[in-house]
């Protein structure tokens, strides 16, 4: 019986994986004995260093004041919405909306209930928003909204002097594919008529405080029409009102920061429901910083301070006990 080749232990001379006969490839990383850390290799002073990778800085989101419950009964619930909070979240967005807040409040008294949207205001506009508390009430309101709503009143801080005590805007508005609204020709395809009446409340520091009444409810109606008049809403760069200039004592051409928000507020809404026999009026006073800006005192205040302090009720927690059904809760914090 013949013997085979003698077995050569790994690492010994003549082993097929030793020396130049070893297969080429990535060298195995040396390992430190168990229980000990492998010493860190310090780069040579002459070797180039790889650039440090820093995590991108994330800007903190702007603080949004809390929504304030101002009215509720068996058919309706209304909030004083802060600027920056959307009435409905955009498609695909998981951000919290006023509809979410209203629905949570409705569910506290009716686990199967849900708030229903009957009208909207812009995300950056503050003020009164009303929701129906049932599909029946929503159908009644949406079926005859223009007849049931007798007043929609706003207050806006705009650039420049109006040159009069009152006036009106009657134009046709059209929305582009990007969501921008612009003035169109009378009767132009896709355009809708928009009518707004305004009254001057006060002027000062190159600004005007206006009270506005909507006769129609088109998207961005007030913002577009005031911009067309040459008096854009302060804090509305989308329609030409990013800054207010012409400040008294500044030489007339020095720009001034706005209040850190769109200066438009839905002050009140007056409506009626079939069978009630009387009109319901829900109000929210205009932010005090609007009037302060006419004296030039609001523009140096910390942003968000005055607006954020207006609404005291938590939007993510149960507000103070509500008044009896059909009564407006106290407006105190």
* CA–CA gap between residue 177 and residue 189 (Å, rounded): 14
Which is nearest to 141 in space by CA: 85, 92, 86, 75? Answer: 75
**How many Å from the N-terminal Cα to the C-terminal Cα in the chain?**
105
By CB neighbour count within 10 A (0-12 exposed, 13-18 middle, 19+ buried), where does 298 fall? buried
* CA–CA gap between residue 305 and residue 181 (Å, rounded): 31
Quote the tokens at residue 228: 């067309």
126-132 and 264-271 as β-strands: parallel, antiparallel, unpaired?
parallel
Among 122, 124, 236, 258, which one carries the catalytic annotation? 122
* CA–CA gap between residue 9 and residue 253 (Å, rounded): 90
State yes or no: is 236 an active-site residue: no
Other C-beta atoms within 10 Å of 193: how many?
A: 13
3-state SS class at 149: strand
Where in the sequence numbering do the catalytic residues fall? 122
């Amino acid at each position: 019986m013949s013997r085979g080749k003698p077995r050569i232990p790994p690492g010994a001379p003549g082993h097929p994986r030793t020396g130049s006969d070893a297969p080429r490839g990535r060298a195995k990383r040396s390992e430190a004995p168990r229980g000990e850390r492998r010493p860190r290799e310090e780069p040579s002073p002459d070797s180039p260093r790889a650039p440090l990778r820093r995590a991108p800085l994330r800007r903190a989101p702007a603080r949004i004041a809390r929504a304030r419950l101002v009215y509720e009964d068996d058919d309706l619930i209304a909030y004083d919405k802060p600027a920056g909070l959307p009435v409905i979240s955009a498609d695909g967005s998981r951000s919290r909306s006023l509809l979410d807040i209203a629905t949570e409040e409705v569910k506290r008294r009716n686990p199967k209930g849900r708030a229903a949207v009957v009208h909207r205001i812009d995300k950056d506009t503050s003020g009164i928003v009303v929701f129906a508390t049932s599909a029946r009430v929503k159908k009644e309101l949406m079926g005859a909204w223009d007849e049931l709503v007798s007043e929609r009143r706003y207050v806006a801080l705009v650039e420049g002097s109006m040159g009069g005590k009152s006036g009106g805007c009657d134009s046709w508005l059209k929305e582009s594919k990007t969501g921008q609204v612009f003035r169109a020709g009378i009767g132009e395809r896709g355009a809708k008529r928009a009518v707004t009446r305004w009254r001057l409340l006060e002027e000062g520091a190159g600004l005007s405080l206006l009270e506005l009444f909507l006769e129609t409810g088109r998207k961005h109606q007030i913002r577009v029409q005031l911009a067309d008049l040459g008096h854009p809403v302060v804090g509305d760069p989308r329609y030409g009102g990013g800054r207010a200039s012409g400040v008294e004592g500044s030489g007339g051409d020095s720009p001034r920061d706005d209040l850190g928000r769109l200066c438009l507020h839905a002050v009140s809404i007056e409506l009626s429901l079939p069978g009630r026999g009387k009109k319901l009026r829900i109000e929210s006073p205009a932010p005090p910083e609007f009037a302060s800006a006419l004296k030039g005192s609001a523009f140096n205040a910390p942003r968000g301070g005055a607006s954020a302090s207006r609404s005291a009720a938590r939007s993510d927690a149960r507000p103070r006990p509500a008044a009896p059904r059909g009564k407006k809760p106290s407006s105190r914090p």
